[in-house]
C-alpha cells in the first residue's frame, strides 16, 4: 500500500482492511484487497458506465465452493454490494486496460474496476492473473470449514 494520502488509502485504511478480513471468517482466504470503483459495459456498449458502487474489493478463495471470487464491501456498512465467482481459466481472461483499470467479461457484457492507487492496482492484477485453476484447487483442497456450532464456549 502506498504511504502517501490519496482517495484509495484514505477510504480503505489499515483498520478497515483488518475489519473486512475478519468478516471473511474461515470460509475464505483473503488473497488481495484494494479500494475500487465498479464500472460496467454492455456487450454492444462502447463506453464504461460508473455503477455508483465503490469500496473494499477483495480477491478471495472460497473454501466452501472451492473457487475464487471477488467480493466488494461497502466501506460505510461493510455489506457485500457486489460479488462475482471466477469461471474456468479466469486468470487468463482478466485484463488490465491501463495502470488503474482492470476488467473481465461476464454474460452480456463486462465488469471493470477502477483502482486509483497504482501500487494497489498492480498488486491486485498480479494476484488475479497469477491465480490459476490448479492453484485455487490446491489451496482449497484440504481445508476443513469450522461451523459456528463447532466452536466451544
Residue 32, pLDDT score: 94
Whether residue 8 is predicted with pLDDT greater than 80 in this model: the reply is no
- Rounded to whole angstroms, how far apart are CA atoms 58 and 73? 8
Question: Which tens digit of pLDDT belongs to each residue from 74-126?
Answer: 999 999 999 999 999 999 999 999 999 999 999 989 999 999 999 999 999 99
Look up residue 93 and give its three cell numbers: 481472461
CA dihedral 106, 47, 119, 7 (to 10 degrees): -110
Measured at the CA of 36, the angle between CA 124 and CA 125, to 5 degrees, comes to 15
Question: The pTM is what?
Answer: 0.84
Grid coordinates belonging to 37: 470503483
Amino acid at each position: 500500500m502506498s504511504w502517501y494520502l490519496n482517495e484509495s488509502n484514505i477510504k480503505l485504511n489499515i483498520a478497515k482492511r483488518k475489519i473486512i478480513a475478519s468478516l471473511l471468517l474461515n470460509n475464505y482466504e483473503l488473497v488481495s484487497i484494494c479500494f475500487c470503483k465498479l464500472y460496467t459495459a454492455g456487450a454492444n456498449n462502447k463506453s464504461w458506465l460508473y455503477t455508483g458502487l465503490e469500496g473494499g474489493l477483495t480477491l478471495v478463495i472460497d473454501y466452501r465452493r472451492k473457487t475464487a471470487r471477488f467480493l466488494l464491501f461497502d466501506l460505510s456498512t461493510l455489506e457485500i454490494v457486489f460479488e462475482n465467482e471466477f469461471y474456468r481459466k479466469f486468470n487468463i481472461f482478466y485484463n488490465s486496460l491501463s495502470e488503474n483499470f482492470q476488467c473481465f467479461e461476464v454474460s452480456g457484457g463486462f465488469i471493470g474496476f477502477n483502482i486509483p492507487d497504482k501500487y494497489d492496482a498492480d498488486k491486485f492484477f498480479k494476484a488475479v492473473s497469477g491465480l490459476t485453476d490448479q492453484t485455487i484447487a490446491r489451496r482449497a483442497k484440504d481445508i476443513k470449514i469450522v461451523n459456528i456450532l463447532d466452536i466451544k464456549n
